[in-house]
Amino acid sequence: MTNPYGFTQDVLLTNYARLLGPQLGDFIAEDVFPAIDVSTKTGNFHDVGGGFYAASPGSKMVIADGQPAPNVIDVTISKVAGWNVDESGLGVQVKTSSEEYARGNGLDLEQAKTAVLARATKIIRERIAAGLAFATGSFTSQTSALAGGDRWDTSTSNPSEDSQTAKDNVIQATGEEPRSLAVGYEVHKALRTHAQILEYASRTARRVGVTTDEDIRGALDVDDYFVGRAVANSAVEGQTASRAYIWGKFAMFGTLRSTPTPMTPGSLCQRFRLRGSMDGAINKWVVSPYMRQIDMVWNDQFVLVTASSGQRQGYLYSTVVS
């Protein structure tokens, strides 16, 4: 689209879309992928190796008599594939005749179509984020599939033990404990009724038969707990709807945070956003004298980051429930 006629960025409609937030609260893509602003469309990560791995026996940090300076360690800094931010979004068209008719019936057609547009774009972004965060093939040795009595919807399972196993794996791989957990809604339902979580709630909060997200965080020893409740239709348009939870039956333990510099990201999942851009900006332009288009756009990219050690800062369980 080059120099569209009558192009404007509608701040009021953008703010209106943001006010729909409570209705769109089941979408977690931008929580699981914390944003970090970048000044360039493309960029590379800095991969630090050598002495930073502290290989045995290491170097003493003592300056001996007559030694002019501390010992020098071997450090290499190279560049690896980083981010590539693209503009993406969806649009809807508004006919002038339809708008006038709707206004006569007390309906603001721009706002109505913006509400539909906001949900449609959110669903697509959830699919992209879930496809990255819950891709077992991207975690190599840092993933496992639960089966039989180990699944969290069975009485013999032990979610707390699985949480510790995941943490131990990440600590050994990266030296840092993951403090966030993201799960699909079906996994969340199993945790809310799990005997282990119920017992934790009864002992710490003195509640019986009722658990909260705070109880789950405490029982599994995480600071942040994200539940993907979004539902999407997988059927082709025109066919009978086939609805399913986007985030599936997975549980991902990871380090999820916005880091100070994009060149050395310290998060398992990161959303690189072009500096100065507005999330979900509403742009309008004229298609013809009788029609205009409303677009909702983002300038960002979801990335599953690999640590300099070649490992992920997270651990993924699949088939967590039956």
The CA-based angle 60-63-69, given to 5 degrees, is 110
Q: Is 34 in the same domain as 48? A: no
In 3D space, the residue among 190, 127, 185 whose CA is nearest the CA of residue 154 turns out to be 190
Boundary (domain end) residue, out of 52, 83, 114: 83
Q: How far is CA 92 from CA 84, 117, 184, in A?
A: 26, 7, 30
Taking only the tens place, the pLDDT of each residue in 181-206 is 999 999 999 999 999 999 999 888 77
One domain for residues 77 and 206? no
Domain that holds residue 177: 8-41+85-318
- Regarding whether 70 and 193 lie in a shared domain, the answer is no
- Which is more confident, 58 or 130? 130
Question: Do residue 222 and residue 278 come from a single domain?
Answer: yes
> How many domains is the chain partitioned into structurally?
2
174: in domain: yes
Residues 225 and 135 in one domain: yes
Q: Is the pLDDT of residue 22 over 60?
A: no
Residue 53 pLDDT more than 70?
A: no
For residues 241 and 305, membership in a common domain is answered with: yes
Specify the 3-state DSSP secondary structure of 308.
coil
* Domain endpoint, select from 26, 61, 83: 83
Judge if 48 and 114 occupy the same domain.
no
| Residue 3 forms part of a structural domain | no
Quick one: 108 and 233 in the same domain?
yes
Domain shared by 138 and 55, yes or no: no
**Domain with 238 in it: what CATH number?**
3.90.1690.10
Residue 57: per-residue pLDDT: 59
The predicted pLDDT at position 241 comes to 87
Whether residue 52 is predicted with pLDDT greater than 80 in this model: the reply is: no
- Residue 1 in any domain: the answer is no
Task: Establish whether the linkage from the previous residue to 57 is cis, with ω within 30° of 0.
Answer: yes
End-of-domain residue from the set 83, 114, 142: 83
Same domain, 91 and 132: yes
Q: Which residues contact 200 (CB under 8 A, 6 or more apart)?
A: 215, 218, 219
Torsion, Cα of 316, 317, 318, 319 (10° steps): -170
Instruction: Let me know whether 77 and 214 are in one domain.
Output: no
Query: What is the pLDDT, as a whole number, of residue 228?
Result: 95
Position 306 scores a pLDDT of 75
The answer to whether position 2 is within a domain reads no
* 69-124 pLDDT per residue, tens: 777 777 777 787 889 999 999 999 999 999 888 888 888 999 999 999 999 999 99
What global pTM score does this model have? 0.87
Indicate if 145 and 275 belong to the same structural domain: yes
β-sheet bridge partners, residue 243: 233
Token pair recorded at residue 97: 């005749």
Instruction: Report the pLDDT value the prediction gives residue 54, as an integer from 0 to 100.
Output: 56
* Of the candidates 38, 18, 14, 15, the residue with the CA atom closest to the CA atom of residue 271: 38
Higher pLDDT, 266 or 147: 147
